[in-house]
Amino acid sequence: MVGIDDGLSRVGIGLRFSNGREVRLKIIGMHCATCSLTVQKALLSVDGVLSASVSLASDEAVVIVDPARFDYAKALRAVQRVGYDIYRETLTFILRNLEPEEACAIVRALRIPGIFSAVSNPVNHTVIITYNPLEIDENGLKAIIEGAGFKVIGASRGGTGDFDVDRKVVEADLRDVRNRLIVATPLTALIFVLETLSLARVIPSILYAIVSFALSTPVQFYSGMRFIKGAVRALRNATANMDTLVTLGTLSAYVFSVLVLAHVIGGNVFFDSSAAIITFVLIGRYLETRLKLRVSSTMRELARLYPRSVRVVRGNVETEVPVNEVKPGDIAIVKEGEVIPVDGYVVGGEGYVDESVMTGEPRPRHRGAGDLVLAGTALTRGYLRVRVTRGGEYAFIAQVIKQVRQAQSLRLPIQSFVDRVASYFTWFVIAAGVVTFVAWYLLGTPIYVAVLHMVSVLVIACPCALGLATPISVVAGTNNALKHGILIRDSRSIELSPRIRAIAFDKTGTLTRGRFEVISVIGDEKALYYAAVAERGSEHPIARAILERAREVYGEIPGADNYDTIPGMGIIAQWNGLTIGVGNEKLVKGFEAVINSEIEGKVREIVDNGYTVVYVIVNNEVLGAIVLGDTLRSETPAVINELRRMGMVPVIVTGDRAEAARMVARKLGIEHVYAGLTPDEKADVVKELKSKVGAVAMVGDGINDAVALKTADIGIAMGVGTDAAKIAGDVVLLDSDLIKVISFIKLSRKILSNIRFNVLYAFIYNAVLIPIAAGAVPGLTIRPEWAGLAMALSSITVTLNALRLKQSRV
């Protein structure tokens, strides 16, 4: 319904769409009529939207869409582009089993109304779904997943109790494989013993055939049932996977042997092959699953560090409460040796905090009154009273774990290519198996020989290695990054990083420390002491810098008898009968004081270089001037030089004064400087750079730089503490160490190299061994059981190669 109200009458125009469907979306951030119109226009620009009506009163958009064309993700991006958001919820479903080849199948099953995104991760058997709660709920999502043949064993909304869910599901899978191996291994071994005795004519061949049938049956239909179920699930989803190949191969061998035993057809039985294939593949799966636990160990270490309870002061009494019940403003008590359970600021006590789990920095850092501390870090010495800002699932460590899990589930562009190949690969192998059987049969060989070659082709192929090649490297690499204080929020930035041609840096807080420091004192050195006395009661950044430096030189500084702040000029104080003024030239004129020519000349030169200067006036005489500046980070020159060596162009994009920006650029040898910019203008510069040089990364503090970070191909945010979880960057440097920009780029290249090796290895493995298994290479052949072992080893090799990233130096 579109309504027009001119104050005299209301006209309603009803629109009907025969193929339309109504979608309701809750809009976040609207506060006026203009907001609702802006959101409405944004929604109408989305392909498939037939009409849109946005209500400010209910914060709701009613959209009529063409289901065949409408994309929820595009609608979300359209609303976010104009500065608003759509309310949505995220659920992580934990599945009993999820093979790499099934990752696409489950995403296809979830292409239904109400889903913004669905990403699956076969490494930890999870699927993360972002959905519109006005259209579908948890039960509906679970029904769809289970309708596709996947068993849901749990669901998580990101609460602290569910952080270690990936370990639980992998361990459950490990137990299942182990239980099936406990049955398969001794029975298969006994079959081989009996086969040896039969070949040695110790026992009759008919006895061997009957006993091996009895022994192989539980192996086939209990130990091998996980493969049969996986094959049935794949068939229901109109796809095929490794389970399909193992099931077809082992059942072919088993059924053929049964027919021989029943004298329906002639030939030899090979129950040993079906049992051995299942056993070897299970052994491979067991080893692979144990390796997966090591690949994701950093996430589990973080999860184990997170406390489940917190000691708080309520009514002057210390009380221990669950961490999810703590409230902002509570006072938490942390004693020596304990893990800090909440985010907050120290209001009492002091100590040394081990922050290595967040920053990778091995040395404990001193934390006292006013300092920020984070949940999951450890108090190695001292005692702290912490005023809580966030706890439970909202704590920084909780957000880090949640974001890493989501990043690990995102699909890199290279994976799309691999998935396309893998989607056809299994069908190709099945066809190759059939062709192998027919070819050998037509050549006049005994039928059991044709069956053996067919089974070898089916079980030696390894689509699993192809499917694991990318996600397992991403999981290992992002965990290693986190261990070094680099939070990769969007794993797609890994594949983009080698293409970066220019890196734009914010100045203040990124290239520089982001706080004033005293550079020098011009004139009488005592000017610093008098300035500190006057400024002791002020919280201004310049005052803090002056006081900090004066304490280093003179020790404790006395306070003024009284002081008064003059807005836009400075401060005036009385102390020991002296009148002290600290401020700019306007304050000097107010005192009717005169700046001598020597001080004035030096100050003019200093100001031209971008520094800030304050004058110190004592009893109407300009005693001296204090030079302050925002100094470079110690690591900045090395980072800029290394980026140049790697072929990238450094650029400064700042909102600061041109003089200050040029001073920093001169020190670093940076040619391209854009200064005095608003946040939107920074984004425009990033767009311009992208059009001129190609892919661009933006490094900023994540607050004033949020728009530019989102505009860049890769946004790298400098951030520590509670704000880091809200930063717009694709990558967050948790301890704001600029050298980790280089570390991220180098680690990204190692991850991509690891992925390429895995993919190449999987292709070569299949290209070489499938023809051998088919008997197409004269003089070479592979029995089915050894083909099964080779297939298991291929997945283990891919996993072991990815595991190297865990120890890779950055």
Q: Which amino acid is at 706?
A: A
Instruction: Name the one residue in this structure whose structure tokens are 């009895």.
Output: 214
Q: For the chain, what's the residue count?
A: 810
Note the Cα 655 to chain centre separation in Å.
Answer: 29
Question: Is residue 354 annotated as part of the catalytic site, yes or no?
Answer: no
Is the backbone of residue 194 left (phi > 0), alpha (psi -120 to 50) or beta?
alpha
Nearest CA-CA partner of 246 in 78, 101, 353, 379:
101
Nearest to 122 by CA among 418, 337, 360: 418
Strands of 534-632 (E only): list them: 562-566, 570-575, 578-583, 612-618, 621-629
Residues pairing with 365 in the sheet: 353
Interatomic CA distance for residues 528 and 552, integer angstroms? 11
Give yes or no for a contact between 573 and 562, defined as CB atoms under 8 angstroms apart.
yes
CB-based contacts of 13, cutoff 8 Å, min separation 6: 1, 2, 3, 4
Could you give the CA distance from residue 478 to residue 627 in angstroms, rounded to a whole number? Answer: 43
Tokens of residue 681, six digits: 């203008």
- Round to whole Å and give the CA distance between 649 and 665: 13
Q: Which residues lie across from 352 on neighbouring strands? A: 366, 381
- Tell me how far the alpha carbon of residue 396 is from its chain's centroid: 14
Beta bridge partners of 120: 127
Cα(37)–Cα(45) distance, integer angstroms: 12
In the DSSP assignment, the letter for residue 558 is P
Residue 313 CA to residue 421 CA, distance in Å, equals: 60
Using DSSP's 3-state secondary structure scheme, residue 780 falls into: coil
Neighbours of 83 (CB within 10 A): 13
How far apart are alpha carbons 96 and 153 in whole angstroms? Answer: 6
| Coil, strand or helix at 578 | strand
| List of residues 6+ apart from 439 with CB closer than 8 A | 450
Q: To which residue do tokens 């008898």 refer?
A: 561
Query: Are the C-beta atoms of 588 and 615 separated by less than 8 Å?
Result: yes
- Catalytic-role residue among 506, 630, 730, 735: 506
CA 669 to chain centre: 34
Q: Which residues contact 764 (CB under 8 A, 6 or more apart)?
A: none
Close Cβ partners of 31 (under 8 Å, ≥ 6 residues apart): 56
| Exposure string for 458-487, b = 16+ CB within 10 A, e = fewer | bbbbbbbbbbbbbbbbbbbbbbbbbbbbbb
Q: Cα angle vertex 598, ends 533, 658, to 5°?
A: 80
Q: Which of 336, 343, 344 is nearest to 383 (CA)?
A: 336
- Tell me the C-alpha distance between 269 and 455, whole Å: 13
Q: Could you tell me which of 663, 683, 685, 664 has the C-alpha nearest to residue 674?
A: 685
Active site residues: 506
